[in-house]
Structure 1
Amino acid sequence: MKLSDIEEKNLKKGQPENVEEKATFDILDVLAEEGISIQDLTDTALEMYVPHPGLETREKADTLFKRELKYALSDPNLCLLIYSGILLEREGRAGNLPNLSKKAYEKDLTFIIADEVLGTSIANYISGSKGTFEYIRYDKKKPGILAKLGPFMDDVIGGLIGGVSSNMYSRGMAEFERKD
């Protein structure tokens, strides 16, 4: 989409009509630096897989989850939300979060809810209330890689998986119904 496709009144003064410059790095590369792969995300999502019409097998779910993940991660706003969690995690490990000690960060104290707000926001951004519901399921169980991640990243990745898996189920059912 070109910026010129947006109504003129929505452009900021001096904003260009086209952005020709390509991004310098991809969120998948940043996640890989944190030890999180597409396969980790998919495996974690499928630990809580439930067969549905259109997703009768794990193989179908695997394929559709990866497709939905690729689509979701094409959105720069989502990538920036994920990146903010990555930066919070990095700063927490270094003991550099404002008004929060390194020990409080490491213990993931219950009065710190910014991580849950971020996870909920990501899930909701991807697929609304259904995504938020899925995020809560993943946040409670902490399957797969979620159990190994830090206080911010378990919620960020849980929100991502929850939102994407919600879309996977919805799209799988919709495609199944169109075949009938």
Structure 2
Amino acid sequence: MRTKELLKRLESKEITLEKMLDTAMELYIGEGQEGVRKKLRELMLKYLSDINVQALILSALLLEENFTVEDDPVNLVADELIGINIAEYIGGKMALFNFFYYDTRKPGILAELPPFLDDAIGGFIAGCMTRLFESEADWP
């Protein structure tokens, strides 16, 4: 799957790259917002082209389209597992903490999304933010 195809599928659910960036930046505390956002955009596009990230996000999209779940039942953990796997794949174990931070606060579009997508997108954002700040020492 190409990155553009995945972005189109996400956009059909009103999930855009800009909204994901806005959501990520909503919980960011620090200076250099523009620089962080620019680097984050590059990182997100890189990982949206990764076949493993694509497969996990697409699985959440397909589950939302083909598997009916009322609200977000407490006994549903598959959604969390998708989000955790995306976060850890991109950002390692440290991303797990970011995932739960985003998952409990539900900033931006995360508050509007159904169960599988909010965790998949939350995991994606958490993984990218973790990876970004892990490499902060390499910034010019």
TM-score greater than 0.5 by the shorter chain: yes
Aligned counterparts of 1:114 and 1:124: Cα–Cα separation in 2: 15
Aligned counterparts of 1:151 and 1:77: Cα–Cα separation in 2: 20
TM-score by length of 2: 0.93
- What is aligned with 2:54? 79
* Post-superposition offset of 1:36: 0.5
Moved over 3 A (4+): 22-25
* Structure 2 residue runs without a partner (length 5+): none
- What is aligned with 1:174? 137
Alignment match of 1:43 (pick from 19, 22, 27): 22
Alignment match of 1:111 (pick from 70, 75, 91): 75
Aligned counterparts of 1:25 and 1:66: Cα–Cα separation in 2: 14
* Post-superposition offset of 1:107: 2.3
* Post-superposition offset of 1:50: 2.1
Larger helix proportion of the pair: 2
Task: Trace 1:12-91 onto structure 2 (pairs within 5 A).
Answer: 23=2, 26-51=5-30, 56-91=31-66
Change (3 A) 1:133 1:24: closer
Please, what is the CA RMSD of the aligned residues?
Answer: 1.7
* Post-superposition offset of 1:168: 1.5
Larger radius of gyration: 1
Higher relative contact order (CA 8 A, sep 6+): 2
Give % identity.
37
Change (3 A) 1:61 1:24: closer
* Structure 1 residue runs without a partner (length 5+): 1-21, 96-104
Q: How many residues align?
A: 140
For the Cα contact (< 8 Å) 1:106–1:151, is it kept in 2? no
TM-score by length of 1: 0.73
Aligned counterparts of 2:39 and 2:94: Cα–Cα separation in 1: 17
Change (3 A) 1:27 1:110: same
